[in-house]
Amino acid sequence: MKSIEDYPQQSLRIAVAQAASVSGDIPENVRRAAAMIEEAARGDARLVVFPEKYLTGYVPEIIAADPERYALARGDERLEPIRQACREHGIAAIVGAPTREGGDLYISSIVIDPSGADLHVSHKAHLFHSEKEVFKSDDKRTLLKIGDWTIGLGICYDAGFPEHSRLLAQAGCHVYLVSSLFSKGMGYQESRVWFPARALDNTVYAVMANHAGKTGVWDACGGSAVWDPYGRLIVEASESEPEVIFAELEPGLLREARASEQMLADSAGLPQPEAIVAVLAGGDERP
């Protein structure tokens, strides 16, 4: 496990693909992803991240009806154009997709490295209530190394649970990177509270990749973005258009923020309460 005092020495340029997904059309979504990977590489990014379940769209009903067709397996040959794009341009990609392992379905991030190899599949830990009927959760945490940067992965609803990012930060991550689907209305509000808070709570860069336009029954709010370790917005995508945005992550700012804001350091070794005591207005106490 890395120390929270270990810092990268070089800056890291990343790309966020705010992508429009065609529901159920994996080949078309793969083709679009490969084109956005090329665009990210032309912008000198070393890593590009896509939204949650991008390769099928957010359509759990069709995935549940035909898992063999719509859920991807490890080494799935349908990903070959994405692998080829990563290999050709020397860039890593994190692609959201439903996956299957044995008889279980997961909401996952597939990590493909710059050589085009399938590096890892990371699963969503915290399922939204409607997802629990179809998918399984996974309490494992994923740390990804890009150069001397350590990146902690999350998927959408994970970001609403502060302990998810805190465990990754305590394990040494510098960036909390989350593939998401946030819709217009309360979804936008959640994203604008959760991600700046997770960034400042843990003095990490926070990255959110969202869908553009409609996906399944959801009307996504766009607004993919990157926040700095103080929780300040660095760059933000449009409300509705597919686009690739870029951010330069600076180790000096990470070091400065952690010297100034001590919440992460002070969280180490905190005792856990043995019981909760409710103190009533009349002065009585009850366990």
What are the DSSP calls for 197-265, one per residue? HHHHHHT-EEEEE---SEETTEEB----EEE-TTS-EEEE--SS--EEEEEEE-HHHHHHHHHH--HHH
Name the CA radius of gyration of the chain, rounded. Answer: 19
Q: Please give the single-letter amino acid code of residue 67.
A: P
What is the spatial distance between Cα 65 and Cα 60, in angstroms, rounded to a whole number?
9
- Confidence (pLDDT) at 96: 98
Pairing of strands 12-18, 47-49: parallel
What is the spatial distance between Cα 70 and Cα 55, in angstroms, rounded to a whole number?
9
Average pLDDT rounded to a whole number, residues 75-96? 98
| pLDDT surpasses 90 at 272 | no
- Confidence (pLDDT) at 200: 98
Name the percent of the chain lying above pLDDT 90: 88
- Confidence (pLDDT) at 267: 86
- Confidence (pLDDT) at 287: 44
Average pLDDT rounded to a whole number, residues 48-60? 97
- Confidence (pLDDT) at 286: 45
Check if 133 is active-site. no
| pLDDT surpasses 90 at 271 | no
Eight-class DSSP state of 71: S
- Confidence (pLDDT) at 5: 72
- Confidence (pLDDT) at 273: 65
Check if 163 is active-site. no
- Confidence (pLDDT) at 3: 64
> Residue 184: pLDDT band by 50, 70, 90 thresholds?
very high
- Whole-number average pLDDT of the chain: 94
What is the spatial distance between Cα 123 and Cα 246, in angstroms, rounded to a whole number?
25
Average pLDDT rounded to a whole number, residues 226-253? 98
Average pLDDT rounded to a whole number, residues 9-27? 97
Q: What is the pLDDT of residues 104-155, one digit of tens each?
A: 999 999 999 999 999 999 999 999 999 999 999 999 999 999 999 999 999 9
Check if 156 is active-site. yes
- Confidence (pLDDT) at 133: 93
| Full-model pTM | 0.93
Q: Picking from 20-29, 30-39, 170-179, 266-275, which range would have the lowest pLDDT averaged per residue?
A: 266-275
Q: Which of 86, 156, 173, 221 is catalytic?
A: 156
Q: What is the pLDDT of residues 197-232, one digit of tens each?
A: 999 999 999 999 999 999 999 999 999 999 999 999
Q: Which of 53, 86, 124, 221 is catalytic?
A: 124
